Structure 1
Amino acid sequence: MTIPAPPDQPNPADHKPAGQDPWGPPPSGPALAHFPPHPMLPAPVAPVSNGMGITALVLGITGVVLGLVIFLFWMSWLPALLAVVFGFIGLSQVRKGLANNRAMALTGAILGIVGLLIAVGGGVFAVTMVKRSADDTRAKADEAKASASSAEKDRHLSFGETYTYENGLKVTVAAPQPFTPDEYAYGHAKGNKAVQVTVTVINTSTSRVSVKTGLPDVNDANGASAELVIDGSGRQKVITGYLLPGKEAVGKYAFSLPPDAAGRIEVEFSPDAMRWNDAYWSGPTS
């Protein structure tokens, strides 16, 4: 018995080959076509980044150049240090396959190390030179101080000793002698002790020398300035004017001292107070 097909639907029996059961399993057809597997696509390649190596090389060169300049070596340590850092980062990227400029990165790192060594060496050299300069300056200052102290000591003499100035004048102050002012004396108080100071100046140079300040200063035993005595006896003589080579000038001056400070005096004298320091002669009075 055959079941009729629904309307508008083909009857399966119409498509079955003759002699085949229309309701049986379909006959085995030809095998499906075999397609070869898709070929594997290549893995994506990471982009090459050579920036670290290039930066290391530039910074390394900069560090070395700055280190070789005398006044700029102190600036070389920073680019040199950065060159070492970037150089090692660049080498790490080369090992990971992210860069291919190994020689550039290695050169930058090496130059950075050289720059650091130059910076350290320059710093040590600068510190050494500054210390040496400071030591020299201190030594010169000590020498000048010692020389000044020695010169100051040399300018303090006893009566009868001679001091020679740089212009060739030799000055000697003799021990003070008693002086009796006349009745018309000026600067001598009654009861004081008057003394006479004799200054001898000899020109040992080969040219004439001006003696502009031929008046000495006298301090008594208390350090007070003694009064200059002027009388009409004509015994006082002031050194002034020019002194010819080999010539001698003698000055005589009288001073009045208070009785309680007349036992010892100090005489200050300079042939030219504007150019030469005073020399000092001291000792007891007669």
Structure 2
Amino acid sequence: MPPQPMFQQPRNGLGVTALVLGLVGLLFGVFPFTFWLGAILGVLALIFGIIGHGRARKGEATNKGMALAGLVLGSVALVVSIVWLIALAFAVDEFAKGIDEEIAKQEKASSAPSAPGATSEAAPEPTETVPAALKFGQTFTYEDGIKVTVSKPRVYRPDQFAAGHTKGNSAFQVTVTIVNGSKETLDVSGALVDASDAEGAQAEAIFDGSNATEMFRGNVLPGKQAKGSFAFSIPAAADGEMQVELSPTILDHEEAIWIGPTK
């Protein structure tokens, strides 16, 4: 009687590892202070997913779909982490520029000669008057001519690769328009948008492959405008109202607030 061929155990470990690392990396990647960990886990998920997928193609593993899913999730986690890295880099750069400008102004003011009979009391700096709340669709105009408008929230359907959206929550998307009515070029890369639900809890931003959230990038010339879309996940129990806060720059403009129903 001829010897029976030995059964080889499927080598599915790398596919499972890729899927777990991709999911965990995506969860870490959507938060601004843990995105670096999401990037590391995303790269590992990519590596294990590629190897696991190769094993499945050779017949050494039976979880080809799991390895492919880990590869895709790892890619999304890496992309989201890179987006956060770029956004934070721009924000830090804007903050540093603002500090340098403020120091230069103070040095110039302290070195300027005083007029005869003038007192040393400094004139109060003008403050930006921001209303308590605007309705969605209304436009707020800053003193330097910059205008910001937040559209009415519309229902959004995240795709299958969405990050930041919890099953059972409601998803809404708003469009933010910034018009540069000033005489200088406006850097909008630091214009970050926050949202909260009817109970005052902060809503999570949604990132997916269908441009749920498109953050502002680059500069806007005088007389030109920039638009960005921002999607947020809100618990169903608090989805009747939404509040959005933003300012066109981090240091030079106060935050304006828009509030209103979502339905």
- Which TM-score applies when normalising by structure 1? 0.46
Greater Rg over alpha carbons, structure: 1
- Which TM-score applies when normalising by structure 2? 0.50
Higher relative contact order (CA 8 A, sep 6+): 2
